[in-house]
Every structure is written in structure tokens, then in C-alpha cells.
Structure 1
Amino acid sequence: MIATSHPLSTSAGLAVLSEGGNAVDAAICACAVQCVTDTHMTGIGGDCFVLYAPAGGGVRALNGSGMAPAAASPEALRAKGITELTQTSPHSITIPGAISAWCLLHDEYGTLPLDRLFAPAIRYAEEGFPITARVARDWAAVGDSLQPGDHAARLFLPDGRAPQAGTVLRQPLLGARLREIASKGAAAFYTGETAAKMCRYLQGLGGLHSDQDFHDSLSVARWEDPISASYRGCEILECGPNGQGLAALLILRILEGFDMGPQVSQADRIHLLAEATKLAYHHRDALIADPAYCEGLAAQLLSDEVIETLRARIDPRRAGKPALWTEPEHRDTIYLCVVDAEGNAISFINSIFHAFGSTRLDPETGILFHSRGLSFSLDPSHPNAIGPGKRPMHTIIPGMLRENGRVTMPFGVMGGHYQAAGHAGFLSAVLDRGLDIQSAMEEPRSFAFDGELQIEPGLPDRVCRELEERGHRLSVLDGPLGGSQAIRIDRETGVLTGASDSRKDGMAAGY
């Protein structure tokens, strides 16, 4: 079974599974397709995180986040007159880590060759693909972020406006890059002519990138131990810092001290989730960074002493002081998960950060660069300060549920900052109230963000009034909050149950 947020991605991955490919093969194939068909959300110029559970083995975490150039530092940027980072700044572009992660994952666990896995993506890039309804809606909403006259605007805004659903879009240069990687592996991206062209383009924008930075990033992806916490007798696994998976675990650990069951009112559940979110994200913003700069943080924050202190700060009847936010808002990511016939399970997320990333597209290579470095701080004393070869704090987080020592669900929630709160809300619906995974995804969402309690349309008026009476300042969103996919594994029967969020165009499919 495979679940993704785009139908062409799901169908491509399902074909790989039906041909005998494993979960890793299907995930790489599906993600490559979305790097073409969901190009405002993800791409080979972005970053990647993975949780992989080989059948009969433990869970491994793969960190595919890229590093800042060796010449980058707060002092170096100040010397150039830069006092803040922006989405389109070349200094918000770290060396992309996705291809390093894909190739490392494939080298160790893949069974089918990369040219087979990339074939659908190459075909869609070169011959074209039809833009789906949700993608068209997103492009119309965010198309004005593209700089008029820039290469990205010329490609993604044909005739100067966002394409309508059903429009066929081609990206032949991107197809050529995928062919190179399929033939030569990660070296085709990080060394040689393609890397030199990307580097010259970024330098032309004023970036501090060097050929050596790209070469050093050939092996930037690395395997790490996942972090975990218990919730209602289950184990929740996340990637550790520099991702925000720690914030998801913090929220769950705090909520475990409260009743979140079906007899608890909807207003109570939303309130408790909001309060736990504010506490967890306050610590996230202050402390999470490149793991070399926050060693031991997960063990410290997840300790009983810290959790009990944080729980005691929650008033069940009154909204607390909102946490201060220092990170830019963003929602643009794709998440997918796969379980194969052997029982291998993968939770896979790939992102370019903002809509269309940095909006910077190299006209010679066709690569659209992410804006992940925007998460860096320019305060030299902050653990997440930009620095040579440093990874920024990341919001993209794959998740995994383990029960009685066995993985029973890869899952993920897209939506930028919302992801950690989304993990907690989704798991609480499944584990506290026994909802099936599709029903848990379809519930109206809420998110304590920037001094407001954001809610999706559809929440009953009486619930809204009660939340306002508790001191929450409500903000009704004009669109959906994130998206999600999951696959539940019944270890007794072997049956797989998949779910894909209706907030996106995707689907779950199996055979």
C-alpha cells in the first residue's frame, strides 16, 4: 500500500510495488513524481527526512537536510549589509540535501534501478502532466510570490498567470537532471557540470556558495537514531533535531497527563492541544537547532521533571500567554508513506519550504531551490544561528507508531509549523478516541499560532464561543490546514488500511 498527496505519485509508486519493488523503491519513485507534478511544494532542490522500518528490524532515521555554505555566518552577512533573511535571498538557500538522501536510501535498501524509479517522473517532466485541481488552487493563491520576469515565473506562470486545472506543464530541464541522477547517482547533482552551473547561478545572486560546498554535500545525508516517547502505552518515533519532531513528542507527553477521551468535550480537547502546543513550540523556537548545537536536548526536554513542570502551567479553563514565535510561516511540503509485501514500512517527507521555495530557478539546470535557510537566526548567540556547514531548524517531520515493539503505522502531517501539532492531534484522535485513520484526518483542525487559535471552517458556533470565553483569540482560516497520509498495519491479519487527506488531491491505494 502507498499513500501520497498526489494521484500520479500514488499510481507511480503502486506500479513499482506491483512489479516487485519494495517500500523504498516505491517511495523514491513517488517522491520523484511529485517533484515534477507538485513542484510548488517539493523538488530535487529541497531537503528530505525519512523514518525507515525494515521488516523484522529497528527504525532508522535519515537526515537529508542540507548545510549552509562554509562562508556563511552572521558576521559575514552583516558585512554585506544583511540584517534579516528573506524568502528570495540567496542566503536562505542551503545546499539541497534531498538527492543525497534519496541515493543513500536507495544504495542501502533499494532493489530496482534508479532509471526505472525515475521513469514516470522523467516522462511527466519531458512530455508534460495535467495540473490537478488542488495544485491549480495553490498556484493561484501563491503565484504572486514569483518575481515577474524571473525564470520561475516564466515557467510556472505561463501567459503571466497561474495555470488552470487540466493545463499540461512541461519541465524538460528537470527531466534532464533526473536522467543524469538516474545514470550517475548523487554525483551528478553535487559534482561536475550541473553543480558548477548551480553554484554560478547562486553566486550571481550574491550567494556565498562554492563548488566545494556542493562537493562536500555529496554525502550530507546521514543515518541517525530516531527519538521517541510513549503515549497511551504506544511508542511514537520521530527524527531528532534539527527537525521539530521533538516538539510533537513534547505535546504528546504533556497531553498524556490529561483526559483526551471521547467523553471530553471538543472545546476541552482543542483547548488542551492549544496550550500544550504553545509550551512545546516556545521551547522549539528557543532551543532546536543542528544536532551538534543542541546535544542531549531531547532527553532533557522529554524527562519527567520537565514534562511535569510544563503540564502544571496549563489551566484547563483559561488560555495561557501565547508563546513568542520567531520562525517564518510556511506550509509547502509533500509527505508519503509505503508498506510493502514484506512488511517494510517507510515514512518519507520532502520539501522546498515556502511555496515555490526561494522562487529562484536556475535557467541552465531547471532546478528550483528551496528557502530552508530562512529558518536560521542571525543572532550569533542563538543555537540556530547560521554558520559554516550548519543545518537549520526544520519543520518537516515523518512519524512512526510502534506498538508492542512492532511498527504499526507510518504517518505524517504536512503544513509547515502545524506539523508537530498535527502529529499530536492526529494521534490523539486515533489513540484516545479510537477513530479510524481516515476519520481522524477529516476532523476540523485547530492550531495555536502567533497569538491566535487558528481554526478551519466548520467548527460549531458553540465550541467557538466557549473557546473565546476561555481567552482564545480565534482566527477562522479561509482554506484547509495542512494535509496527511497514514497506513495502519494489522500485525495479526496482515491487512493494511490506508488514508489520504481530502485536503489534498492524493489518495491511498494498495493491492
Structure 2
Amino acid sequence: MRDFQLPGRSAVFAQNGVCATSHPLAAQAAIDILKRGGNAMDAAIAGAVLLGICEPQMTGIGGDCFVLYTRPGDTTVHALNGSGRAPAAATAERLRSQGLTTVPLTSADAVTVPGAMDAFCHLSETEGVLGLDAILAPAIHYADEGVPVAPRVAFDWGNDAETLQGSARQRYLFDGKAPQVGQIFRAPGQAEVLRRVAKDGRDAFYSGEIAEDMIAALTAQGGLHTQDDFAQTRATATTPVCGQYKGIDLLEHPPNGQGATAILMLNILKHFDIAGMDPLGAERAHIEAEAAKLAYDARNRFIADPDHMSRLDHMLAAETAAKLAALIDPKRAMAAPKDVSEAVHKDTIYITVVDKDRMAVSLIYSIFHGFGSGIASDKFGILLQNRGAGFCLDAGHANELAGGKRPMHTIIPAMLADGGRVTMPFGVMGGAYQPNGHARFVSNLQDFGMDPQAAMDAPRAFSDAGTFKLERGYSDKVRRDLTEMGHKVEIPTTAIGGSQAIRIHENGVLEGASDPRKDGCALGY
């Protein structure tokens, strides 16, 4: 139990349904959908699409999603890959011939076809009960009427505003500047897009005037995208990958997501007595940082479009984790492997919903970097993701850019299960931090007996591109100790990630936890 004399928040307990996400209007919309008779999938989609209006720097209908979910009365965890592909004409050689070694972040070459809208339409039809017109109504309303800009949103908006280019600056800036807290953001063009999708389904987005608008914006920037690239976009059903840590199962979305990295990291941590360490001490932070370096190095070598990779079993094997754990010096930091982290900070949104029938949804939805590529379509103002920057340009690499291929993705939804029963859908936002965040969250629960809210409130640390970032919650002594071990330590200017979770207790009570690093909350009824 938390100390009620110190700042903090209590978890939300309810019986009929809970939503936890990063903006209160989206959480409220999800609960309203449940009260209308919708199920957890209806509510999660409604909240997610609205988050694209509440937090447009983080996500939107020009992005991708991954989803894990269960059905009422069934313990099977299903997965849906809603990530889009590179245009058919794309090649790494074309960019290498220009002297490039990475995909430029704000170029049309970084834009993969948005996959989230197809996934949402598919899930609404196959798993939802209310229909698109009902579940898109909250986002349409707020896109038309406007949303007051929340404090964390305003902070991130200001940090990422320079990414915006062309017509995107008119759509997402206020007299050329990022909005202040409380200013009203409206997106009437997106409201019209959503009205058409509500009426005519996914084809309204992937063909006709809306697709033409996106393609025209990309073509003007030298993009190779075609009508056929958009028309062929389809979400893909797949099977989660699973690992175990101290009595519980961790289920992650499979590649091209990076969820296997979290499982590998926990497999490495099994070789150390984490539970015997101070949860906020230098020893634990050091071992975790070293495990992350090794796990992320494996990620960069192996994870790619599942049709183009063959080393997943090796990455998840116990023998692999044992060999990597043996490389860790408990007293000395190793050099960071090449490309442990992407070039700049990026974030996303995550939403989880559990309903009265205990259908559970874990959904993550993103445009990758802040404001994605910075390119927006002229007529409807659809901001386009830069997920193609997740490709590499190394010839022969599994994750090499190629036409029709999906890039390695940072966004990963997760679930915990105990004895086959799903006990907690959860997610940790924060770009490259996410696998480290999943491992830290699970370790907080299992090694230190924290409840979900305490596990996400606890200070975070992340070894990011050669710099060990420790939030202000760590003591100066810990920083000094880590510096003496060889780490380059700094306090990050931005809080590390964000998280949401819902624990499903054996008696059926739902416990929702929401990260104070974001503007959001958990709500229930």
C-alpha cells in the first residue's frame, strides 16, 4: 500500500469494466462505449482513434498498431499485426546510391502505408459488437469540436514541432507555434475521414479521395507510393511469442514488433539475484542496463518482417540468454553495441480495456517519431508515420528496406498470464525503451512484489546510445556509483516512457493503473 502522506495515485478498482490510457477523454470515451453495451474491443478502438486527436504528436490514422486480445470465456491470446508496408517500388539500393546509410526521418522514403485503420475496421467487424459508426463517433465529435491541449501533450508538441513541414504546419501549429496548455486543437479534416470510414468501411480510407490525398502529398516529396500499395494493405492475424519469468508468462506480439527483446532481456536477468538487490540501487540498475545492451544488440541483428527472418527461436532460446548473461561484468559497464537506440526520442500511445465478460485488449498505436514524418496530406490533414525509418540499409540484412516489406517496429503490447489465465494486459510506451520497460515492470512485480501502480510509478533507467539515463527519482549516490562503474550518467530532460495496466484478480475485480508521466488515467465502472 502506498504512503498516503506522499504524492501519488491510487489504482482504480471496478467490477464491470476498466480502461487505462494516456488521456482522460479517451479513457472516458472507452468507458462510455462499455456502458452502451460495447465490448472491450469496441472500447479500445474508440479510445485509440480519439487519442489521435488528443495526442496528435504521438499517434493518428496515418500510423500503425499492434493488438493482443482475448475473447470472453477463452484463455487464448490472439494477435493482430496492423503495421503497414513499404511501397512496392522501394529499394535500399536506391537510397544507398544517394550516399545514405539510414532512411531519412522526415522524407517520403520513411513513410510506410498506414496499417492501423485496416486493423481497426477488421477488429470492429470480427470482434466488436457496436459497429464502426458508434465506435468512431467520439473521435469525430472531438475532431470537430476540439480538445484542450493537456500539459504533457503541450510539452511534447513543443519538442517535436520542428518536424512539421508544408501543410502540416498549418494543421498542427497555432500561428506558427506549438500550442500552450489549454488551447483548443481541432481536426475537421480527420473528422470527415472518420465519417466516411464509419459509413463505407476501410475502403473509404485505402481508395478514392482519401488515399489519393495521402499519395499526392507523398509524391510531391518524391515518394514511390501508389494506389495499389494502399489498396493491398491488410492487417495480419498472428500468434504471440511467450516467455516465463518467476512463475508468470509474458506474452508479446511477434516480429516485426520487438517484443521478443523483452523476453530475451528477462531470460538474461534470470541469471542474477535481482530480488536480492535494492530495487532503486546501483547494482540492479547496472545489471539491467547491461542486459538491455545485449538484448537490443540481438534485436538489431535479428528482428525484421517475419517473412524475412529466421533467428527468432535462437533469440528466445535459454542457451542464448545464458551465453549473453555470462558476458556481463557485475562491476563494470560494457561499451554500448552499435545502434542500441534510434536517433531521437519517440513515443506512442497505449490503451488497455477489460470488460464485464473479461475480454481483454492490449493495443498500441503510433506514428513513430514525434509527428511522424512531419508530412500531412493537404486536403484532410492526415499526418503520416515514418515507420520506414525502422528499416536498415545494410545489404543482405534481414531488416533491409525492400518493397512490400514491413520494418522492425518498436511498439509492443503485452499481457501477463498465470497458469493459462490472463492476469494483466499492459504496455509501456517510449520508443526503444519499451522492451526494457516491459522487463522492468515485470521485475518490479515479481522480484519486489510491487502492485501495478507502484511498479509503474517507480523511477526508471535506460542505457540509451551510450548514455545511461536515470530519472530524478534515483539518488545522487546511485549516479556516482554507476559513474564509477564506467557508465556515462545523465538525468533525461523527458520522463522515460509511460505505461498502463489492468490486473484481473481471481475474484473478478479489475485493478487499473496509469502512469503519472502522462496526462491519462484509469477509469472503471
* 1:90 maps to 2:108: yes
Distance in 2 between residues matched to 1:438 and 1:392, nearest whole Å: 33
Report the Cα offset of residue 9 of structure 1: 0.4
Report the Cα offset of residue 314 of structure 1: 1.1
Distance in 2 between residues matched to 1:11 and 1:498, nearest whole Å: 13
Match of 1:423 in 2: 438
What is the aligned counterpart of 1:311 among 311, 325, 330?
325
Distance in 1 between residues matched to 2:407 and 2:458, nearest whole Å: 32
- Which aligned pairs between 1:5-84 and structure 2 lie closer than 5 A? 5-55=22-72, 56-78=74-96, 84=102
Distance in 1 between residues matched to 2:520 and 2:143, nearest whole Å: 19
Deviates more, 1:311-320 or 1:388-397: 311-320
- Equivalent position amino acid for 2:35 in 1: S
Paired residues of 2:75 and 2:420 also in contact (CA < 8 A): no
Distance in 2 between residues matched to 1:455 and 1:292, nearest whole Å: 37
* 1:387 maps to 2:397: no
SS across alignment from 1:348: strand
What is the aligned counterpart of 1:325 among 293, 318, 339?
339
Match of 2:503 in 1: 488
Distance in 1 between residues matched to 2:97 and 2:220, nearest whole Å: 18
SS across alignment from 1:198: helix
Report the Cα offset of residue 78 of structure 1: 4.3
Distance in 2 between residues matched to 1:467 and 1:135, nearest whole Å: 32
Match of 2:119 in 1: 101
Paired residues of 2:50 and 2:138 also in contact (CA < 8 A): yes
Cα shift readout 1:358-377 (whole Å, capped 9, x = no counterpart): 01011112211000001111
Report the Cα offset of residue 101 of structure 1: 0.9
Match of 2:7 in 1: none
What is the aligned counterpart of 2:142 among 124, 129, 142?
124
- Equivalent position amino acid for 1:168 in 2: I
Match of 2:477 in 1: 462
* 1:279 maps to 2:294: yes
Distance in 1 between residues matched to 2:212 and 2:515, nearest whole Å: 40
Give TM-score scaled by structure 1 length. 0.96
Report the Cα offset of residue 433 of structure 1: 0.6
Report the Cα offset of residue 328 of structure 1: 2.9
Distance in 2 between residues matched to 1:194 and 1:146, nearest whole Å: 20
Distance in 2 between residues matched to 1:402 and 1:102, nearest whole Å: 25
What is the aligned counterpart of 1:373 among 384, 388, 392?
388
Paired residues of 1:328 and 1:375 also in contact (CA < 8 A): no
Distance in 1 between residues matched to 2:452 and 2:30, nearest whole Å: 21
Distance in 2 between residues matched to 1:329 and 1:478, nearest whole Å: 13
- Equivalent position amino acid for 2:479 in 1: C
Report the Cα offset of residue 125 of structure 1: 0.7
* 1:181 maps to 2:187: no
Match of 1:226 in 2: 240
- Equivalent position amino acid for 1:117 in 2: I
Report the Cα offset of residue 419 of structure 1: 0.4
- Equivalent position amino acid for 1:35 in 2: G
What is the aligned counterpart of 1:143 among 161, 169, 172?
161
- Equivalent position amino acid for 2:351 in 1: L
SS across alignment from 1:332: coil
Report the Cα offset of residue 194 of structure 1: 1.4
Cα shift readout 1:431-486 (whole Å, capped 9, x = no counterpart): 11110111111111100111121111131111111111211110211221110000
Q: What 5-or-longer segments of structure 1 have no aligned partner?
A: none
- Taking a change above 3 Å as real, the CA distance of residues 263 and 372 of structure 1, as seen in their structure-2 partners, is closer
- Taking a change above 3 Å as real, the CA distance of residues 141 and 77 of structure 1, as seen in their structure-2 partners, is closer
Distance in 1 between residues matched to 2:321 and 2:378, nearest whole Å: 50
Distance in 2 between residues matched to 1:81 and 1:176, nearest whole Å: 41
- Equivalent position amino acid for 2:33 in 1: V
Cα shift readout 1:296-345 (whole Å, capped 9, x = no counterpart): x2221111221111111111122122211163333220001011000110
Cα shift readout 1:73-119 (whole Å, capped 9, x = no counterpart): 11233456755421210000000100111111111100011111111
- Equivalent position amino acid for 1:54 in 2: R
* 1:211 maps to 2:222: no
Match of 2:11 in 1: none
Give TM-score scaled by structure 2 length. 0.94
Distance in 1 between residues matched to 2:343 and 2:22, nearest whole Å: 24
C-alpha root-mean-square deviation of aligned residues, in Å? 1.3
- Equivalent position amino acid for 1:11 in 2: Q
Distance in 2 between residues matched to 1:471 and 1:407, nearest whole Å: 40
* 1:165 maps to 2:149: no
Distance in 1 between residues matched to 2:343 and 2:82, nearest whole Å: 21
Distance in 1 between residues matched to 2:99 and 2:325, nearest whole Å: 43
Distance in 2 between residues matched to 1:383 and 1:111, nearest whole Å: 39
Distance in 2 between residues matched to 1:194 and 1:258, nearest whole Å: 53
- Equivalent position amino acid for 1:121 in 2: A
What is the aligned counterpart of 2:254 among 222, 227, 240?
240
SS across alignment from 1:341: coil
Paired residues of 1:328 and 1:374 also in contact (CA < 8 A): no
Distance in 2 between residues matched to 1:329 and 1:413, nearest whole Å: 18
Distance in 1 between residues matched to 2:418 and 2:188, nearest whole Å: 45
Cα shift readout 1:160-180 (whole Å, capped 9, x = no counterpart): 111111111111100000111
Distance in 2 between residues matched to 1:406 and 1:384, nearest whole Å: 34
Distance in 1 between residues matched to 2:75 and 2:277, nearest whole Å: 38
Match of 2:15 in 1: none
- Which aligned pairs between 1:446-461 and structure 2 lie closer than 5 A? 446-461=461-476
Match of 1:346 in 2: 361
Deviates more, 1:436-445 or 1:72-81: 72-81
Match of 2:6 in 1: none
Matched pairs, number: 505
What is the aligned counterpart of 1:434 among 449, 457, 476?
449
Paired residues of 1:195 and 1:214 also in contact (CA < 8 A): yes
- Taking a change above 3 Å as real, the CA distance of residues 505 and 469 of structure 1, as seen in their structure-2 partners, is same
SS across alignment from 2:427: strand
SS across alignment from 1:358: coil
Match of 2:13 in 1: none
Identity of counterpart residues, as a percentage?
Answer: 49
- Taking a change above 3 Å as real, the CA distance of residues 14 and 82 of structure 1, as seen in their structure-2 partners, is same
Distance in 1 between residues matched to 2:397 and 2:212, nearest whole Å: 32
